Structure 1
Amino acid sequence: MTKTVEGNILTFTRIFDAPRELVFKVLSDPEHLSHWWGPNGWTLPVNKMDFREGGSWHYCMESSDGEMKSWGKALYKEIVEPERIVYEDYFSDEEGNLNENMPGVHVTLTLVEHEGKTKIVNHAQFSSEEALKTVIDMGMEQGFTEMWDKLETHLNKIQ
């Protein structure tokens, strides 16, 4: 995985040994997301998705000891199967109300066919450099790496 930071933009890129249509499916199907979303030691006990432009995804990540929960909500802006998913991602509460005190992010996921594999480019634009620094300081890079490792394991398992 490669990471670049330019101002308020964080980009992660990684190649997965799976066809683009399958990768798109595991990014857009809540049954698949339950297997890999979140860092190591976290589960996805709440996973309600309406995957369409104008739809949303409300989820909760929970630590393995049950002591910590992290609620989030994604609002889908553009979906071009199997090429791109554009959404706004926010911290939220259990009811899905957005947390205005935490940084939100505009995400463009691009899936590119690459020698029989799929390259995912995760382009995340934050409102400011400070907002980006906040999530980096929270461990976003490690969490993202672990999550994409879990995605790779899941893709290998289902092929």
Structure 2
Amino acid sequence: MAESNVKNSMTQTVEGNNLIFTRVFDAPRDLVFQVLSESEHLKNWWGPNHWTLPVSKMDFREGGSWHYCMESPDGDMKSWGKSFYKEIVEPERIVYEDFFSDEEGTINETMPGMKVILTLIEHEGKTKIVSHTQFSSEEALKSVLDMGVVQGFTETWDKLEAHLERIQ
């Protein structure tokens, strides 16, 4: 097990084919759940620094999906993704499968998919999020780590924190 502390008291743990991020946000759990589950909120914080979310088509329900596009600051890079919601327990847990896709939403089978379990825990008036991501293999996890997922995830959660501060 490899664990490290990153900016703003976020912890990152790699365990076999699992990647786990934990961070406490200074916001009530109901609000954090809302910004995780509504497309209009996601457009304000999803993605690494300076990237935008010009496309976000969401059907937030068990059996629903989210098709999105992250775009680089200069517009030269677009990263499409598609998620499928498996379990939603408001305001405690969101379980989904996430894949790289194309503009039409066709899954890219050459890229690793992942199962994500987001757990929201009330923590001294704040909300602790545990993001547990399971990959099909350690090799699939390594390929995503090599793409810079830790930095991207850290920046994304920094943007989430800033968005929560703005809307409270």
TM-score (normalised: structure 2): 0.94
Question: Are 2:62 and 1:53 equivalent residues in the alignment?
Answer: yes
Task: Report the Cα offset of residue 41 of structure 1.
Answer: 1.5
What is aligned with 1:122?
131
Question: Are 2:149 and 1:140 equivalent residues in the alignment?
Answer: yes
Unaligned runs of 5+ in 1: none
What is aligned with 1:28?
37
Q: Deviations over 1:73-120 (max 9, x none)?
A: 000000000000000000000000000000000000000000000000
| Letter paired with 2:82 | K
Q: Distance in 1 between matches of 2:48 and 2:26?
A: 20
What is aligned with 2:100?
91
TM-score (normalised: structure 1): 1.00
Question: Residues 32-47 of structure 1: matches in 2 within 5 Å?
Answer: 32-47=41-56
Q: What is the percentage of aligned positions where both structures have the same residue? A: 79
Q: Distance in 2 between matches of 1:50 and 1:82?
A: 17
Q: Distance in 1 between matches of 2:50 and 2:167?
A: 21
What is aligned with 2:17?
8
Would you identify which runs of 4 or more consecutive aligned residues in structure 1 move more than 4 Å? Answer: none
Q: Distance in 2 between matches of 1:75 and 1:98?
A: 11
Q: Secondary structure of 1:41's partner?
A: coil
Q: Distance in 1 between matches of 2:158 and 2:106?
A: 30
Q: Distance in 2 between matches of 1:18 and 1:66?
A: 32
What is aligned with 1:79?
88
Instruction: Pick from 73, 76, 82 the counterpart of residue 67 of structure 1.
Output: 76
Q: Deviations over 1:62-83 (max 9, x none)?
A: 0010000000000000000000
Q: Distance in 2 between matches of 1:17 and 1:65?
A: 32
Task: Report the Cα offset of residue 57 of structure 1.
Answer: 0.1
Task: Report the Cα offset of residue 43 of structure 1.
Answer: 0.2
Q: Secondary structure of 1:53's partner?
A: coil
